[in-house]
Structure formats: structure tokens, C-alpha cells
Structure 1
Amino acid sequence: MKEARSSSWSDLLPEILGLVLRRLPSLADRVRLRAVCRPWRSNAQLDPLPPLLPWLTLLDGTFLSIPDGKIIRMPIPDKGFCRGSVDNWMFFVHNSDGDCSLMNLFSKATLNISKLDITWLNGNSRYYNSHFYKLMAPLPLESSPGSLVALEGGGRLRICQPPIAVDLWLHLDDITFFNGKLYGLNGNVLSIFEINYGLNGKPKISSVRCITSYPTFTLRPPQPLPRTCLLLSYLVECCGRLLMVKRMIGCNPEIKPCPLESDRTAGFQVFEADLSTKPGQWICVRELGSQALFVGMHCSKSFPAGECTGVEENCIYFMRDYFPANLAADPLSDSGVYNMKSGNIKPLLSETAAVPQHRGGQWRPTWIFPADAM
């Protein structure tokens, strides 16, 4: 009788290894698996995998994995403060002179952007006013480092082709690229920006056109709101659709000693831009299908949901991104997962995750979407 041949873990079939990897949506877990042996590292690159769990930047310069609650520390530029993000690229302001850059958190590739005219925060304001930094790019910056970058903040829209930049003064609630074109939202009115190049090769905004009429819809929160209400708006591209997300936050300024503790998100409503008519119209969206939305003042993105990604479908993930200028706030104090069907809100972190201790800091809360490690 022949003796059974013993096998090692390195002999694990690539098909089985792939099944295991698809059940590991955490970047740290995938890195650990690939580090077991060379065959595993090699075989782990054979098949495409679901996207990794998003991260949330914390104010102290660390990162929080969603929804497992793991704290991640990554090398960052010296004296750099995060003010926004584009996928896995982070926008850093380095000093009070306005020096800033974009850095890929994983490859460490860097793009320098011309100095910003920094307007410091108004300490008397209860909410943000001049640091609403939002960056967008029409193409992935990894494959197109010379791509245009749109930066909105402090009432200024800046179009950059690093390191060249051009400015336009106007008020916007949010911006995004959709089908290669730049759109801006002011209230409920959507505008499109035509971008051309001058004789000197600098990008310039040649025209701004309003392409939606002022809508007549009424926002209906799933639960009653206090008399004081904060309304935030986000633009998100989702599966070939341009969406406007309205966030309704109830506030009670009479709460003592800190009224900010009472601010809570009551619900969301989502609208799709129908650009087939002139002017365009906003159409109410009842469900997101197999997608989830991650929304924030500094980064918003649609994300494929499902069991393998650890993200719930037909839901909106949000954090506290409206903290006041004169007070560091906990991004988790008004955060959660809003279910589009039921209208219910549950905690952003899973039940087994430990809630991180809030330490304050100078970073801004934004979403990071990690690239898979090879």
C-alpha cells in the first residue's frame, strides 16, 4: 500500500486560493495572505478581485477601515495636512503659504499643484466656510498624471494641469466629472463648465452654462426634523448616471453646553440628472440597486456592494464632514449607513468593531479607496 504523500500549503490550488481572496475585502488581510509563500503571491495575481474596503481618514492622521474598524497607519509627507482625496490620491496642504500636492497613498507618486491663496477659517462660524476642498479628475491619475484636476474651495474653482492652474470665482456646493466633462452644483441648479486651452497652453474655463431648471420637488425626511435644519448636497457619478444626493441634518442650537452634540442626520434623498431635456430635470431615485454611495464634502464615490466587498447595497455611507471651523469634531459622531429602502440608519462600523478613541487633529475627514497590493 502506497503511503499518502503529504502536501504543503504552497500546493493549494489557485482556484481555492482565489475563493479565499475574494472573501478578504481588507487590504491588510490580502497582504498577509500573499506573504505566506511565493506560490501564493504569484497565484493571487491571476484573477481580478472585488474592490477593497474603503478607508476613512481620521483627524489625527490615521485611517479607519470601513466597516471592520481597523486602524491603519501609513507614511505621509512631513507636516502635510490632508484636505481631500481622489480615489487613493490624497490632497495635502503643507504650510500656511499654500504649498500643496497630490500624493498616491500606496505608490507614493506625487503631483505638485501651484500654491493656493489660503483664506483661514472664520472662528465665529459654526460650520465650515473656506476649507471645502473637493478635488476631481476625469481620468485615473495613475494612468494619466497630466490629467486635469478640478479643485473647489472657499468660493473658488481652480482648474489645474499640474503645476499650471487657472481660477474662477463662484459659489458651488459640489463638483464632479461626468462623461469627461466638469459639472458644478449650486443649490439645486446644475451647471457645466467648458474647458479649453489658451495660446499659452494653460487650461481655461471658456463658459459656464446652467443646464437644469430650479426643481420644484419637496424633501421628505423619513423622520421629523427640528425647526433648525442643515441641508448638504453631493454630486456622485454612479453606473453612468449623475446623481445629486441631499442630506438632511437636524440641529438644536439650544442644547447646552455644546449644541453640536445634538446634530444628527435624519435622512437622504437622491435625484438623477435627466440631461435629455432642455433644460435638464432632476428625477427622484428610489433605489441604488447593487451599488452603495460613499458621500462627503471632500470625496464622494459609488461602490459595488455585495457579500464579497463587505459593503451593503442600496445604502449611503456618510461621516460627519460639516464640523465647525473653530472646533475639531469626531467624524464618527454623526456617521452611519442609511438604507434607501427602509430609511433606517445604522452605525458605520460593524457590531464587533472597536470604536476608535477620538484624539482630534488638523486633518479633514475624507474617503480613501485603497488600491490592491501586488
Structure 2
Amino acid sequence: MVIPGERSGTDGVPSDERNWSELPKDILHLFSKKLTDIFDFIRFRAVCKSWKLSALVTDPPPLLPWLLEVRREEDRENAVIRFYCLSSGKVHTITCSCSRGAWLRGPARRYLLASQSRFQVYLLNPLTNDQIHVPFVNACWCPIYIGPDSSEGGDIVVISGFKNYFDMVFNTRPNMMVFWRPKADDWVYVEGVGNGANTYYRGQYFCNDSETGITNVIDSATKKMAYQITAPEDTNPLLRGYTVIVEAGGKILRLFQHYEAEQYHFDIYCLYFGDGEAKPCWGKITDIGDQMLFLEGHHGLSFCASNFAGFKGNCIYFLKTMQYLCRYDIGDGTTEVLPCPFDCVDTWFVPSLV
């Protein structure tokens, strides 16, 4: 690949004879790591063979989650999916045949949870059309965590649902958890895990009981209760809002989002494990450092702001009434409505080519 030009290069070689495909592989790799939109990464790989080999799909640049637009009925039937890329400000329209007629759920990395009905649920990567069947257990599933498994390597899928159809009809929240590792290719069921905000981290499943405020911690290896964490001391059950539990920078955070007229603000707690003798407990914090949280419903994702030019940490991105994209500044307690090309937004999705 030769790039024409008029001036000579610094090495004395005329620039119209410079072959950019011969750039050092480590330099090309460094360039590829600065691409924060996965479609720019795809274009980079398409330039020539040497550029492609320097930017493997298994080693993509850091990517912020895309925002999924709520799909209209005609979009579902035509298998059209629209995403808003926050880092580039672009809207990406994807035709994914495996999404035809399906409802898509997140937040998630690599796969969205797709459902045609209670009887047909599967994981779907909309960029590759890859599918993974989710076994039918009379349940409407909700994704808890879909992404890298920090405890054993590879990926793990954690979803919650109902034990049976009767529970789904008469209970308002799921009461069982299912997780799956591609390496093991086996679905593991855990019952009685609670019915509120939840997350998964390092082999442990954290689930908040919405009635008592107690957080149950389940060990995924033994499928038994590891320990319980009482609600923060300043918890007021009369306040309007909802709880989110999310992992951020290796720490487990519990957030309570307040509803006060048009104002939103968060109480944030960090899980402290003590010195080995004290019981784990929630401690209130006012700063999450370089972390950015992306919330939807009772779940969320976290990212380091320093990996993304133009973004700052210590903030929370959330969806207000599924119509507005908002950013909460933890430092000054203010909420800002951000520009968004969609009238109705659904969930967050971190794209992947594998």
C-alpha cells in the first residue's frame, strides 16, 4: 500500500514511494488501541494484511458500551438493530437475521439476551450472528452478567429467572440464578438467591433482597451461601428509588438512586471485607475515582475513564424513563441530560467481534 505525496520523508525517501503497509507492527498495534469505535477498528483491519495482523479481533481496543434503541415492531420483523456509540457519536444500523422477531435485553458484553417467547431464549452477538441456546425452564430470563470470567478465565453468562411458571405468574421478581461457562458447556442452576439488584464477580453472585435490604452472596462453585451483608445503617425503606449492585475497578458497589421530583441523585456504598474477623459491611463513599458506571435497571457496567479520550471518571450514566440519556456527576451531585439520537432507549451493550 503506497501513499502518494509531494514532500520527502524524514529518512530521505520520497513520500510518494512510502509503503505504509511496512509500518512496524508494534506501532500499528498502538494505533489500533486508540480506536474507540469498533467499526473504525474493522476499517483499520481492512486496509491491508499487515494492518489486519497487527490488530487481532481477540485483542480489540477498549470499547465503551453502545446504547440500544428500543425496537419497533417493524424493526423486529426486519431484523434491524440500531445502536448509538457514545464515544464516536455515531449511530450504527445492523441487520442481524437471528434477531428477527426477538426482544433484546442487557446490559451485557459480547452477547445480548434474546427471546422470541418464554419457550425460545438464546444469547445473541448481533455483530457476528452467533447464538447460544438458553435451556427452557418456564422462565422469562433477565441478564445479570455476560462477559469475562475473572475467576477462571474465558467468559461466563449469569442470568436470573423463575423456578417454574407458577412462580413467574405470582412473583414479581426472579428467584433463581443460572450460570454457564463456554469451557464447561454446562448450565448450573442455583435456587433461592433473592429478588433484587444483583451482580457477579470472581465466582460470587451478589443479590440484594428488596424487602429486607440484605445482600446474599452465593459461591458459584458450591452453590451455597457464602455470607450475608446487612443493609447500610442509613437505609430508609420509605425513600423512593431503587438499588443497583455493580462491580467497579475490582470493588463491589451498592447504589441507591433517589427519585425526588425531577432531580436524581445517588447514595453510593463500597463493600468492605474487614480484617478477616469483622463481618463484611457497606461503607458510604463519595468518590469512585477513575471509574464510570453505566446503569440500566438494577444492573450496570463499569469502565476506566482514562482509557477513553474526552471522558472523565467519578460519574454515572443512566437511562431516565427509557427516554433520556443522563450523566450524574458524583463530585458535585448534578445530573445532565446528554444528546441522544433515539426517542426511546433500551439497554447497554459492549460490542465484540468474537
TM-score bracket, normalised by the shorter chain, equals 0.7 to 0.9
- Kindly indicate whether the alpha-carbon contact (under 8 Å) linking 1:236 and 1:300 is maintained by their aligned counterparts in 2: yes
Q: 2:229 aligns with which of 212, 233, 237?
A: 212
Give SS of 2:132's match.
strand
Gaps of 5+ in 2: 1-11, 72-80, 163-172
Who is 1:68 aligned against? 88
Q: Counting strand residues as a fraction of each chain, which structure ranks higher?
A: 2
Who is 1:337 aligned against? 327
Q: Please give the TM-score of this superposition, normalised by the length of structure 2.
A: 0.74
How far apart, in 1, do the equivalents of 2:218 and 2:110 lie? 25
What pairs with 1:66-215 in structure 2 (closer than 5 Å)? 66-74=86-94, 75=96, 76-95=98-117, 97-117=118-138, 133-136=142-145, 139-140=148-149, 144=154, 147=156, 149-152=158-161, 154-161=173-180, 164=187, 166=189, 168=191, 171-187=194-210, 188-195=213-220, 205=223, 207-208=224-225, 211-215=228-232
Match of 1:347, as an amino acid? V
Q: CA deviation at 1:305?
A: 0.9
- Kindly indicate whether the alpha-carbon contact (under 8 Å) linking 1:50 and 1:309 is maintained by their aligned counterparts in 2: no
Give SS of 2:159's match.
strand
Match of 1:88, as an amino acid? R
How far apart, in 2, do the equivalents of 1:59 and 1:239 lie? 30
Q: Please give the TM-score of this superposition, normalised by the length of structure 1.
A: 0.70
**CA distance 1:21–1:345, shift in 2 (3 Å):** farther
Identity rate of aligned residues, in percent?
A: 20
How far apart, in 2, do the equivalents of 1:244 and 1:152 lie? 22
Who is 1:28 aligned against? 39
How far apart, in 1, do the equivalents of 2:146 and 2:70 lie? 24
The number of equivalent residue pairs is 311
How far apart, in 1, do the equivalents of 2:34 and 2:154 lie? 31
How far apart, in 2, do the equivalents of 1:57 and 1:215 lie? 33
How far apart, in 2, do the equivalents of 1:109 and 1:70 lie? 24
**CA distance 1:32–1:185, shift in 2 (3 Å):** same
Q: 2:250 aligns with which of 221, 240, 243?
A: 240
Who is 2:271 aligned against? 273
- Kindly indicate whether the alpha-carbon contact (under 8 Å) linking 1:22 and 1:308 is maintained by their aligned counterparts in 2: no
**1:175-205 alpha-carbon deviations (Å, 9 max, x no partner):** 11122111101243211124567xxxxxxx5
How far apart, in 2, do the equivalents of 1:41 and 1:158 lie? 40
Give SS of 2:43's match.
helix
Q: Counting helix residues as a fraction of each chain, which structure ranks higher?
A: 2
- Kindly indicate whether the alpha-carbon contact (under 8 Å) linking 1:236 and 1:244 is maintained by their aligned counterparts in 2: yes
Q: CA deviation at 1:93?
A: 1.0
**CA distance 1:148–1:234, shift in 2 (3 Å):** same
Gaps of 5+ in 1: 120-130, 198-204, 220-227, 252-263, 324-330, 350-354
Q: CA deviation at 1:286?
A: 1.8
Q: CA deviation at 1:306?
A: 2.1
Looking at both structures, which has the greater relative contact order when contacts are Cα pairs under 8 Å and sequence separation is at least 6?
A: 1
What is the RMSD computed on CA atoms of the aligned residues?
A: 3.5
How far apart, in 2, do the equivalents of 1:270 and 1:3 lie? 58
Who is 1:369 aligned against? 350
Give SS of 1:177's match.
strand
- Kindly indicate whether the alpha-carbon contact (under 8 Å) linking 1:174 and 1:184 is maintained by their aligned counterparts in 2: yes
How far apart, in 1, do the equivalents of 2:149 and 2:229 lie? 28
Who is 2:341 aligned against? 356
Who is 1:202 aligned against? none
**CA distance 1:138–1:59, shift in 2 (3 Å):** closer
Q: CA deviation at 1:309?
A: 4.9
Q: CA deviation at 1:266?
A: 1.5
Q: CA deviation at 1:67?
A: 4.2
